[in-house]
Each structure stands twice: as C-alpha cells, then as structure tokens.
A and B are shown apart, each in its own frame.
Chain A
Amino acid sequence: MSELIGLAQSHLLLSGCAVGIGVLIGLPLAILSARSPRLRGPALGLAGLIQTIPALALLALFYPALLILGRATGLIIPALGFLPALIALSLYALLPILRNGVAALNGVDPAVIEAADGLGMTRRQRLAIVELPLGAPVILAGIRTAAVWTIGAATLATTVGQPSLGNLIFSGLQTENWARVLTGCAAAAGLALAVDGLLALVESGLARRSRPRLWLGLAGLALALAAALVPARGGGGKTLVIGAKNFSEQYILASAIERRLQAAGYRTERRDNLGSTIAYQALAAGDIHVYVDYSGTLWSNILRRADIPPPAQMRAELTTQLRARDGVVVLGPLGFENAYALAMRRARAEALGVRTLGDLARAAPRLTLGADLEFLSRPEWRSVEARYGLDFVVQRSYSPTFMYRAVADGSADVITAFSSDGRIAALDLVVLADPRRALPSYDALLLLAPGTDARAIEALRPLIGAIGVERMRRANLMVDRDSDKRTPAEAALWLDPFP
C-alpha cells in the first residue's frame, strides 16, 4: 500500500509538472499562432509530428539525447529519471493545448473582435478582456485532454527510470502478477478521472462564471499537487539507487540488494525495467549506484568484444577494463550464470534425437526458433550460426514470458532459454550442449557506480559467491510460476535470508 501511494505521488507530480510546462509553452505559442498563420502551420505540424512518435520511443530517445548533451556541455544533466520523462511528457502534452488554444482564439466571433478594436482596446487588452475569457472553455478542454493523455503516458516513464504507476504494470506483466498489473492500471485510470473531473469543474466554473465551482476545482488540483509533494518516507541517510532490467531475476536480486543496503542504514530507490545498455550507461554516469549485469552481455555490448575467452579470464578482463574505462567497480560474481542456452521440451528433443547444438543443426530446417527480443541481433547468435550452421524454417521473437509459453504450447520447438531460469525445470526442458563453445559465459556480476561508499560495498560483499544456480532457479520459479506466486521481494527474502 505504501508502495502504491509512493508511486501514485511521483506519477502525479511528474504528470502535473508536464502538463504545467505544456500550458506554459503551449498557451503563448497558441496566442502567437492564432495571430500569425505563418507560425501556425509549422507549430501545429511539429506538435502533431511529436504526437505520432510512440510515447515509449519518445521517452527512450531522451536518455541518450541528455547523455550526449551532458557530455557536450560538461554540465551535470541527470539523464535518467525525472528529467527525460518530464521533457518527453511535456512535449506530448503540447499538441492538445496548442490545437485547442488556436481554435479557441480563432473561434471568437469577428463582430466581437471588431467591436473590441473599434472601442480602442490594445491587443493585450483584447486578449485579456475578450479573447481569453471567451476561449477559456475550449482552451481548458485542451488542457483536460492533455492531462488525461499525460497521466496515461506517464506509466511509461518507468522505462527511463522514473518511478510511476507503470512500475506496477511493467513488473506485474513481467512476473505475470495480474493483480499488480490491474492495480497499476486502475490507479492510473483513477488518477486520470479524478484530475479530469477537477478540471471539468474549473471549466464549468469559467463557462458559467461560477466562482464556487472555479475555486473548488482549483483547490482540488492544488491539493492533489500538494499531496504529491508530501515525502512518502522520512529519515536521513544517503539515498542509493538500485537498477534492475526487466525480468524477474533482476527484480529479485534488486530486492535482495535493497534489503542489505537498508539494513546498513541507507535510503534506497529503485529504477526497474531499464534497457540493457541504458542500465550500464546509467551506472557509469552515477544515475544508478548498483545493479547486476552478466559478463557476456558486458563483454559484447560494452567492450564490443567478439572473442570468447574462458569465464574466469572474461571476468578478470571486465574488472580491469570497466574500471579503467568508466570507473565502474565489478565487485564480483554472485555465483550463478544466466547464460543463453538453447532449450527444447524433453519429449521433443528425444523424439528428434537432439542432444547438442550439432544435432540441432541437422533438425533445424524443420523447426521453429523462439528467441527473446535481443538474441537474434546479438553476436552470440552469429557465433552459434557460424559454428553450427543453424538454419531454422521460422524464427520468432518474444518477450521472455511469452517465449516460454511458446515452447510449452509447441508454437516454438527451440527457445533461447536462460540457464538460471526456473521454468527450465518447471517445463521439463533440456538445455542443449555446446561442445564447440559458441556461447560465452554469463556470470551474474554485482556492479557498482564510480565512487560508491566503502560501507555500501561492505554491506553488499556477502552476496558475492553466495547464490548458486539451483537457488536462483528456485527463486525465479517462485515468481514466474502460475500458482502460489510470490512477489520478487518475498523470493529475495528466501534467496538471501538476511539478516
């Protein structure tokens, strides 16, 4: 419950600021556009163009854009979290405010405008006394539209590390915790309806010149913003930000890390559902302070290496090179691997006589491959293709949850499973052997941002080498299975029963 309130607060604050900025930019722009047809076309066109960019992509674009801007200007610009989400949502809010503003001002009766001019109103007086009051209901309708859109789109802010009600939706989808998804959706919808209702009150107050309605609506909005600003938790101590990518294992490990840091007296924040490269860059930039990544991912994505050294050598090189390159501390391996592994249902594999990737190459032309969203564009896949000559009849990409569904119901014969995944045992899958060593190792490594406190490091050190693959699989299964589901926090408590 306190999680829901905290998320709703930051959701409301983000949306409120975005709509506020949308009004501050949109309304003056509407006033200028209403007067100048030469400005109107480009302004409406640009706002419309922004609107056609999917909100998710718009949000994601601002992370690298701000990162580059920060590097180019030498300023400290937070590229993750509130700022990119705010910019993207403000741009999103612009169109309805601008469009309705122009329509409102251009829709004022020409006779009224002529009278205003003829009586000797200056442009500013005409705007303040005649055009804005007469256009107010239409302008406000635009603000209402913007507010509802923005509160909806703010759920996506989660993906750039800004906590919002989207946290519930995204992590709920990932762990198939539908109650969590519904809670997130219902809370976001409730928030949108409430804000829309208050704005409707302001609108009718303006239209009917009813001061009670106007003040009631404005007071409600002010109260909502004030509620968003009340700090959810008190207490001092430094805040450490824990990152997680978008799958169950990451949520569980982030929860375990969070508990250990809190026990050491730190306040913590979570940035869940980060993209693979965003997570590392955010760590290097200090926007997050700790997260778990995998050696093979860092090897190919960050160091851009295509060779495949033995696991220990890969870890050693990563430790020295990431420190030299970005100041990132590789604290050590947690003790299990989450490697890509091609897996099949046991019955199907035995029927086809497939035990290794070499065997698979013979059968592949009759089989369908289900891959996760990034595997087919990764060097590991090229490496597997090159060493075994795999040639599937169909290749499909799924989000991880649906990939396992696909192999379970037979729509995929082979999937790119993850070796620590609890569903390997649960679905009775066999992992195919890789005798030619095409797939690199994916040791789970605990990564810390440059300059992390020694005390925080000591608080986390007990996790190193403490989590074997069997334990991780069981913890993952607790969250991923269909019945008797546990939350990631509960699984973390089981995985790392501390203190």
Chain B
Amino acid sequence: MTALDIANLTKRHGGRAALDDVSLAVEAGRFVALVGPSGSGKTTLLKSINRLVEPDAGTISIDGRDIRDRPVAELRHGIGYVIQSIGLFPHLTVAENISIVPRLIGAAEDRVAELLELVALPAELATRYPRALSGGQAQRVGFARALAARPKLMLMDEPFGALDPVTRDELGRAYRALHERLGLTTLMVTHDIAEALLLADRVVVLIDGRIRADAAPAGLLTSRDPDVRAMVDVPRRQAERLAAL
C-alpha cells in the first residue's frame, strides 16, 4: 500500500528550482533516506510533506488523501517531526514536552512513562528541564515527543546530525528498531551517505532538485551515474582505508 505519494512537485526559490518536477511513492513500513549535497532540495521536499513549505506545483497525498484536504494543524498532529536542532521547549519539563501533541489534540491518556521507556530513557527524567539533558538524551526526548500521538509517518531532518559518533550510531540503530516495532513509515534527510546506506531500506539521491537515483542500498553501490558513484565511493573508500590500518 502506498503511504505517501508525491507527484510532480516543483518549488522555486527566486529563479532557481529547489525541486524540479519530483515524483516519489513510498510504501507503508518503508524507511527511506533522502541524500544529496547541500542545496539539493532534500529538506524542501521533506518540509513540503508537513506543509512547512508550500510547493509551487504538484500534489502530495498521505494514505491516498491530499494533504491540503484538512487543516494544516490536524495534518501535522498525525506526522512525527524530528529535526537536527531538536527544538525542545526549554520552559517545559521532559514530561510536558513529550505530552505536548496529545495536549493539543485533547487526548487524555498519560503515555509519558511508556514513551520514555520506548526511547530507553530512565523514568526519573520526566521532571527534568531540557537544559539538564545530554545531547543524546535530548534527541531521545525529541523522538518520544514526535511519537506521542501515535503517528504512522515520521519525517526526520538530520535527526542524528548534532550527536557525537558513538551516540549517533547507537541512536540510529535504536530508532531503526523502533521503526520496525511500531510499523512506521520513515523519511529521513541526511547528508551522511554511510548512515543512509546502513539504516534505510531505500535511498533516494537528490541533486539540483531532481531525483538522480532511487534504489536499495546494495543497488546504489553499483550505480553508473558518476555523481552518485562519487557520493557512495566516499564511505566505501573510508571503510577500505580503515580495514587496511
């Protein structure tokens, strides 16, 4: 079943096309990584889905329903959104941060303990303020907040970008497990090609606002497109050099 259907999406910034007639269909339960150099349009594409960016042309449907058919707030309540800078509310406790979307939609159940457990954080963190958290803990809270209203679709923009390499690897694998367990559909923007190849089951390469490659990780490694090859060769050569040490 198609969870997300993007058709002929175009967005211009000034004269330049950030997205140039992009079409992409994602089946439910898939983990798709959007990769590409800076300015390739991957963040614009992601933000078009929860309407933080309004495209100039094209349509987007989630579960067969056009995203413009309902109020934007309602749309966003149903989509998990995680960003590199996390954006926890500094004046609210961890528990209050996590329950913000349920509070907005008037849900009565208290899932704070359950969600903290889900993202492997100790329960006593609930009463702390964000300034008392480490970077990894803060992003785990960010995941818990995004998951609080039981979304089926997750949009993530460089979710591990601000973390140290060890935490990054650990949190990446932990999220991948959550993705499986909760049956999520995930779209993740990253500029780290190795992360994309290792976490996702489908990698979409955007260059200059167009899709240049769209394949499973193994398939991408054998791409004949020289730009795509240049990108995937970086982690491969690094791995070879590390192995030779």
List residues of A whose CB falls within 8 A of some B CB.
109, 111-122, 125, 129-130, 133-134, 209
List residues of B whose CB falls within 8 A of some A CB.
50, 52, 72-77, 81, 83, 85-91, 100-101, 104, 145-146, 155
Residues of A within 8 A of B87 (CB): 109, 111-116, 118
**Inter-chain contact B89/A130, CB cutoff 8 Å:** yes
Residues of A within 8 A of B91 (CB): 133-134, 209
**Inter-chain contact A114/B100, CB cutoff 8 Å:** no
**Inter-chain contact B83/A122, CB cutoff 8 Å:** no
Closest 7 CB pairs of A and B: A115-B87, A120-B76, A111-B85, A118-B81, A111-B87, A120-B77, A120-B73
- Give min CB distance, A114 to chain B, whole Å: 6
Residues of B within 8 A of A117 (CB): 52, 76
Give CA–CA (A109, B83) in the complex, Å: 14
**Inter-chain contact A114/B90, CB cutoff 8 Å:** no
Residues of A within 8 A of B72 (CB): 120
**Inter-chain contact B86/A111, CB cutoff 8 Å:** yes
In the complex, the chain A residue whose C-beta lies closest to that of B76 is A120
**Inter-chain contact A112/B90, CB cutoff 8 Å:** yes
Judged by DSSP, the binding face of A is: helix
Give CA–CA (A115, B76) in the complex, Å: 11
Residues of A within 8 A of B75 (CB): 120
Residues of A within 8 A of B73 (CB): 120-122
Residues of B within 8 A of A129 (CB): 89, 100
**Inter-chain contact A118/B83, CB cutoff 8 Å:** yes
Known contacts A121-B73, A122-B73; decide if A115 and B104 are in contact (CB<8 Å): no
Give CA–CA (A113, B52) in the complex, Å: 11
- Give min CB distance, A205 to chain B, whole Å: 13
Give CA–CA (A125, B77) in the complex, Å: 13
Residues of A within 8 A of B145 (CB): 119
- What would 8 more interface pairs be, CB under 8 Å, given A111-B83, A114-B87? A112-B89, A112-B90, A115-B83, A115-B87, A118-B155, A119-B100, A120-B101, A130-B89
In the complex, the chain A residue whose C-beta lies closest to that of B74 is A120
In the complex, the chain A residue whose C-beta lies closest to that of B51 is A117
Residues of A within 8 A of B77 (CB): 119-120
Give CA–CA (A134, B89) in the complex, Å: 9
**Inter-chain contact B50/A118, CB cutoff 8 Å:** yes
**Inter-chain contact B81/A119, CB cutoff 8 Å:** yes
12 A-B residue contacts at CB 8 Å?
A109-B90, A114-B83, A115-B87, A116-B87, A117-B52, A119-B100, A119-B146, A120-B72, A120-B73, A120-B74, A120-B76, A134-B91
